[in-house]
């Protein structure tokens, strides 16, 4: 599609809203603690900075929304300080909710330890977000519409209650819904009875190099991308994210290609993968081809890691400024001053 048509692609000719990113997963609280380095086992370390924010799938939804794609949270959220934090964060980005507030407990949280070099380590404690019901799953299925991109995370699939429900929900989605999976660090713990059927219905798999290795048994990210593509739905594609080196893209019926990254000084990588996934889905929803979307996702992830905080994905104006004279800026946003860029603050649809 042409760069200038990205805004119009979000709405059909009949005026109906275009594809949305729908997260059928978890949005939880993130307790981020910056540390010089991880302590040895049984040791201790003094944190240099602490922040409590919304995290989990929030970062993916925010990344997509900031680039102008409508985003919807279709997960469980509880009653308590973490649940309130999550809902306030979603509302601030203009992200809609599908399910009502659960009254029987609070939303869960993650402790993210961020080292000086930007590397991060997580410990997660789930709340009611791990206790999806059949009624919840049915409500989510009823809200998904043709063309939507439904995002799943390994964090949801690994849960004993949510995993089987999400697997059945995914298998029943109509073929005009695009299914996307981020396997997450816990992918090795997802039961094959859950992961197998989800992969068979997945149209896009986005994994980091470690996750791709765990899923494929292959150290080489290019080979892993190619092998994992064979486990997906017909016509499916794979992204293997390789940090500063960008990502490997194995699109349907094509040899894997490395999509180069953007050099930056990383200060916090805790939201890099989420920024990449959210930007990729947002650009696919806007009608861009996978290679362009992957290049845009690399730029969004590079922008994010150069800033502190887990939800640092750029909006349209920020991404355009980051790209500068790169031809991708014109591809995504049109020529400066043409009126086709749809730039705006967080939550702007750009339409």
Domain that includes residue 173, residue range: 12-26+57-105+129-333
The distance of Cα 109 from the centroid of its chain, to the nearest Å, equals 18
The alpha carbon torsion through 184, 188, 189, 190 (nearest 10 deg) reads 70
The beta strand positions in 166-246, using DSSP E, are: 178-182, 204-208, 237-241
How much is the pLDDT for 135?
Answer: 96
Instruction: Give SS3 for 115.
Output: coil
Contacts of 83 (CB under 8 A, 6+ apart): 77, 101, 102, 106, 107, 127
Query: What is the domain count for the chain?
Result: 1
Mean pLDDT by 10 residues, the chain (351 residues): 32 57 95 93 95 92 97 97 97 97 95 84 91 96 96 95 97 96 94 96 97 97 97 97 95 95 84 93 97 98 87 94 96 69 37 28
Instruction: Give SS3 for 330.
Output: helix
282 with 25: CB under 8 angstroms? no
Integer Cα distance of 200 and 195 in angstroms: 9
CA-derived radius of gyration, the chain = 19
- The domain that holds 97 is classified in CATH as 3.40.1190.20
Compute the residue count for the chain: 351
User: What does 141-179 look like in DSSP terms, one character per residue?
Assistant: HHH--TT-EEEEEHHHHTSTTHHHHHHHHHHHS-TTSEE
63 with 277: CB under 8 angstroms? yes
150 with 162: CB under 8 angstroms? no
- 342 inside domain: no
Integer Cα distance of 178 and 57 in angstroms: 17
Q: How many CA atoms lie within 13 A of 150 on its CB side?
A: 29
- 80 inside domain: yes
163 with 156: CB under 8 angstroms? yes
68 with 347: CB under 8 angstroms? no
- 111 inside domain: no
Running DSSP on this structure, what letter comes out for residue 55? E
- 33 inside domain: no
Integer Cα distance of 124 and 349 in angstroms: 32
- 212 inside domain: yes
How much is the pLDDT for 308?
Answer: 79
**Spatial CA neighbour of 311 closest among 35, 47, 28:** 28
- 120 inside domain: no
How much is the pLDDT for 13?
Answer: 33
- 75 inside domain: yes
Running DSSP on this structure, what letter comes out for residue 6? T
- 110 inside domain: no
């Amino acid at each position: 599609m042409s760069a200038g048509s990205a805004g119009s692609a979000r709405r059909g000719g009949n005026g109906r809203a275009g594809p949305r990113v729908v997260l059928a997963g978890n949005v939880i609280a993130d307790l981020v603690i910056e540390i010089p380095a991880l302590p040895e086992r049984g040791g201790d370390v003094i944190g240099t900075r602490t922040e409590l924010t919304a995290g989990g799938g929030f970062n993916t939804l925010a990344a997509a929304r900031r680039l102008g794609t409508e985003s919807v949270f279709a997960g469980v959220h509880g009653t308590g300080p973490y649940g309130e934090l999550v809902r306030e964060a979603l509302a601030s980005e203009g992200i809609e909710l599908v399910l009502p507030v659960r009254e029987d407990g609070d939303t869960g949280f993650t402790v993210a330890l961020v080292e000086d070099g930007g590397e991060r380590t997580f410990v997660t404690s789930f709340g009611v977000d791990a206790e999806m019901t059949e009624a919840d799953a049915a409500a989510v299925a009823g809200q998904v519409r043709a063309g939507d991109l439904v995002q799943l995370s390994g964090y949801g699939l690994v849960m004993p209650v949510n995993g089987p429900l999400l697997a059945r929900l995914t298998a029943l989605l109509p073929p005009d819904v695009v299914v996307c999976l981020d396997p997450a660090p816990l992918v090795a713990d997802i039961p094959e009875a859950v992961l197998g059927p989800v992969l068979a219905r997945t149209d896009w798999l986005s994994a980091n190099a470690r996750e791709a290795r765990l899923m494929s048994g292959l150290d080489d990210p290019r080979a892993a991308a190619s092998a994992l593509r064979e486990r997906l739905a017909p016509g499916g594609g794979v992204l293997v994210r390789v940090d500063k080196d960008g990502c490997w893209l194995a699109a349907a019926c094509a040899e894997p290609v490395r999509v180069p990254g953007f050099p930056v000084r990383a200060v916090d990588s805790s939201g890099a993968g989420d920024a990449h996934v959210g930007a990729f889905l947002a650009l696919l929803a806007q009608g861009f081809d996978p290679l362009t979307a992957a290049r845009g996702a690399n730029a969004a992830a590079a922008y994010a890691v150069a800033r502190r905080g887990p939800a640092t994905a750029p909006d349209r104006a920020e991404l355009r400024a980051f790209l500068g004279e790169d031809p991708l800026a014109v591809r995504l946003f049109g020529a400066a001053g043409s009126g086709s860029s749809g730039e705006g603050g967080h939550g702007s649809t750009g339409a």
